[in-house]
């Protein structure tokens, strides 16, 4: 029996699914956007069974609703693949994924869940019971483990393997975020406090990431995938916002502190990662109003609070 995890969306989504796929790579294929394949194989030492899944509707600038686009190559790859996929699984609850999966894959059963969380994220009415605490928010790592039938304890063991690091290993702050609203705005002050406490500090960003106020390009490294994986693996601790780098650091077994303000970190938090959230963070599925914007949000945890949350 071969299971295909259908996850065409962002890096963080792909890494969450990869955390499950790496537990039984002989029977699980992860279908995700091909731009994430390099970093996933680097992080997993080439152990993942990956399939390209490049669907145009996942990008904000080229929606083409229900078009398969470059995913036609996935159809070709499946026809020549010796594996027989018996089940296709998704936890996102997006009807576009359901339609695309049925067009691409034949002769399998489809286990698609997450419809209520997806509706709650999009519509305030559906989010009310989660916002007011009558219903709990589903963690995506738990959801994937449940959908595949893998004990969550197995996932926890894989994510909690923190290798011992030398005391002089650097503390890495990754400022990457697609939107400024998700970016921790007090990086300069936090870096200064860390250095004052005797830490070596490295500030990382993605190739096109905007930088927080007070941080110049001269203060930041923008590593390519191989160098990024090496930086994270060699770190003593990683501090990041709720983002792809947070999931990557957790996947690599790094000691990680996640800072959250504009969405409920409970939905996204990897096993073994410490979260420090603003009291103003949402309790349900819907993010704050300025989530998809470059608005710089107030109310983040202070650098002093971050320092107090770091593990010894």
- pLDDT attached to residue 282: 92
Alpha carbon distance 249, 234 (integer Å) = 11
166, part of any domain: no
C-alpha of 194 from chain center = 26
Q: Which domain holds residue 235?
A: 171-309
145 & 63 share domain: yes
Q: Cα–Cα distance between 260 and 279 in angstroms, integer?
A: 10
In this structure, is residue 61 part of a structural domain?
yes
Q: Do 29 and 146 lie in a common domain? A: yes
Please tell me the total count of domains within the chain: 2
Asked whether residue 258 falls in the same domain as residue 283, the answer is: yes
How many angstroms separate the Cα of 168 from the Cα of each of 35, 234, 235, 236, 298?
34, 10, 9, 8, 33
Instruction: Find the largest Cα–Cα distance for the chain.
Output: 61
pTM here? 0.92
Residues 57 and 201 in one domain: no
What contacts 140, CB < 8 A, 6 or more positions away? Answer: 13, 16, 91, 267, 268
Looking at the structure, do residues 36 and 126 belong to the same domain, yes or no? yes
Reading the block at residue 118, the tokens are: 């997806």
Which string of DSSP letters, residue by residue, matches 154-209?
Answer: HHHHHH-------TTSPEEEE---SSGGGS-TTHHHHHHHHHHTT--EEEE--TT-
Q: Along the chain (312 residues), what's the average pLDDT of each consecutive run of 10 residues?
A: 92 96 92 95 94 82 58 58 80 93 88 96 95 95 95 81 74 88 93 94 93 91 96 94 94 94 94 92 90 81 93 61
Which CATH number does the domain housing residue 128 bear? Answer: 3.40.50
């Amino acid at each position: 029996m071969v299971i295909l995890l259908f996850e065409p969306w962002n890096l963080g989504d792909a890494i969450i699914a990869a955390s499950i796929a790496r537990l039984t790579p002989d029977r699980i294929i992860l279908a995700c956007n091909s731009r994430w394949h390099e970093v996933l194989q680097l992080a997993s030492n080439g152990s993942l069974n990956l399939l390209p899944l490049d669907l145009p509707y996942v990008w904000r600038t080229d929606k083409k609703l229900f078009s398969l686009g470059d995913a036609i190559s996935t159809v070709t790859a499946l026809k020549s693949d010796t594996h027989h996929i018996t089940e296709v699984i998704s936890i996102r609850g997006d009807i576009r994924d359901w339609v695309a999966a049925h067009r691409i894959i034949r002769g399998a059963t489809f286990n698609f869940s997450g419809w209520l969380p997806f509706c709650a994220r999009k519509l305030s009415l559906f989010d009310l019971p989660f916002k007011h605490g009558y219903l709990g928010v589903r963690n995506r790592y738990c959801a994937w483990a449940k959908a595949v039938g893998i004990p969550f304890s197995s996932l926890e063991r894989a994510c909690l393997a923190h290798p011992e690091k030398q005391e002089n290993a650097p503390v890495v702050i990754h400022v990457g975020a697609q939107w400024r609203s998700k970016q921790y705005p007090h990086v300069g002050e936090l870096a200064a406090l860390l250095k004052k406490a005797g830490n070596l500090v490295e500030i990382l960003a993605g190739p096109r990431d905007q930088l927080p106020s007070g941080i110049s390009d001269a203060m930041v490294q923008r590593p390519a995938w191989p160098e990024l994986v090496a930086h994270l693996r060699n770190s003593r601790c990683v501090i990041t916002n709720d983002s792809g780098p947070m999931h990557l650091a957790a996947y690599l077994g790094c000691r990680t502190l996640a800072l959250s303000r504009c969405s409920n970190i409970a939905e996204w938090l990897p096993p073994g990662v410490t979260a420090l959230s603003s009291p103003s963070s949402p309790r349900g599925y819907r993010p704050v109003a300025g989530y998809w914007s470059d608005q710089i949000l107030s109310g983040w945890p202070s650098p002093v609070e971050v320092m107090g949350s770091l593990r010894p």
